[in-house]
Amino acid sequence: MNNIMNQLNSPSVYLVVGIVILFVACVCILFMVRAYKAGLAIGMDKHKLKQAITSSATFSVLPSIGILLGVIALSGALGIPLPWLRLSVVGALHYETQVAQAASEAVGLESLSASHMTAQAFTTIALVMSVCIIWGMVFAVLFTKKYTTKKEKKEDGKKSSLAGFGDKAMNAMFVGLVSAYIGSYLGSFISGEGMFSFKGDIIPILVAIVSAVTMAFFIYLKEKKHQDWVDSFSIAGSMLVAMASAIIFGMVI
């Protein structure tokens, strides 16, 4: 176990990951500078541009807390470089943790942890995490222009029905994903020998409920109380509350 973790956290892996992240950071800075210059070129107020940069940087801090939690959660089993790379470049918090867990179960690991990690398991997990998310970039290169053209095309004075397809598809995917996970939690709990035979089986269900209630509260604040600022850290806030509740449930149940 120590050997595999030493390899996953070796200086050579850090070097490769650092080069990739540095390249992406430079691209971001390049686009930011070009956007700023373009704003000045079309006559935008310099003070408002600086204000937009400051507010964007400020509101980026809170969502990044959730990303940091994801890196910490995955680093115990996959080392620091890979989660750092995934969640800094192309990964998404909700995607990485779930796919890593599913891949670890598929290769027969008892849990996603350093004590059970092997070189073969890590290779499979990293491959699955990479292959499953690459299609967004591939489809964007191949089909974005065609999709955007159809989306903006007007039919009988109204926009094409493709206008809301992306949001509907994303919502449908998350509903299916959440249903699958909650279904597995319920199945594991109900299939026990007696309703409360395995106290650990009920904890994921309770944590899911706490997380859902917390997110619902943030949505209420945003939509009913018009507190738009909560939208920037609703995911991170829900995760923190859910993780705290998991610890509390583990102590009392």
> Are 127 and 184 members of one domain?
no
> Are 141 and 184 members of one domain?
no
Rg value, the chain, Cα: 22
> Are 192 and 128 members of one domain?
no
> Are 139 and 200 members of one domain?
no
What range defines the domain where residue 251 resides?
A: 177-253
pLDDT score for 1: 53
pTM of this prediction? 0.65
* DSSP SS3 for 210: helix
> Are 136 and 40 members of one domain?
yes
As a dihedral over the C-alpha atoms of residue 123, residue 125, residue 131, residue 135, rounded to 10 degrees, the angle is: -150
Give me the helices (H) in the chain, please: 2-8, 11-41, 46-78, 81-88, 93-106, 119-152, 165-190, 199-223, 234-252
Q: Which of 145, 160, 194 is the last residue of a domain?
A: 145
The pLDDT tens digits of the residues spanning 94-151 come to: 778 888 888 888 888 877 888 888 889 999 999 998 888 888 888 888 888 887 777 6
Q: Which residues does residue 159 pair with via DSSP β-bridges, in sequence order?
A: 154
Mean pLDDT over each residue of the chain, to the nearest integer: 82
DSSP 59-91: HHHHHHHHHHHHHHHHHHHH-SHHHHHHHHTT-
DSSP annotation of 44 reads -
The pLDDT tens digits of the residues spanning 173-224 come to: 778 878 887 887 888 777 764 444 444 468 888 998 999 999 999 999 989 9
Measure the CA–CA gap between 84 and 91, rounded to whole angstroms.
9
Residue 78 buriedness (CB in 10 A; 0-12 / 13-18 / 19+): buried
| Tally of domains within the chain | 2
In a domain, 157, yes or no: no
> Are 65 and 10 members of one domain?
yes
Closest to 93 (Cα-Cα) out of 125, 129, 69, 127 = 69
Give the number of other CB atoms < 10 A from CB of residue 8. 20
In a domain, 181, yes or no: yes
Average pLDDT over residues 21-47: 93
Measure the CA–CA gap between 240 and 148, rounded to whole angstroms.
37
The pLDDT tens digits of the residues spanning 154-179 come to: 544 555 555 567 678 778 877 887 88
Q: Which two tokens stand for residue 30?
A: 């390049």
> Are 43 and 110 members of one domain?
yes
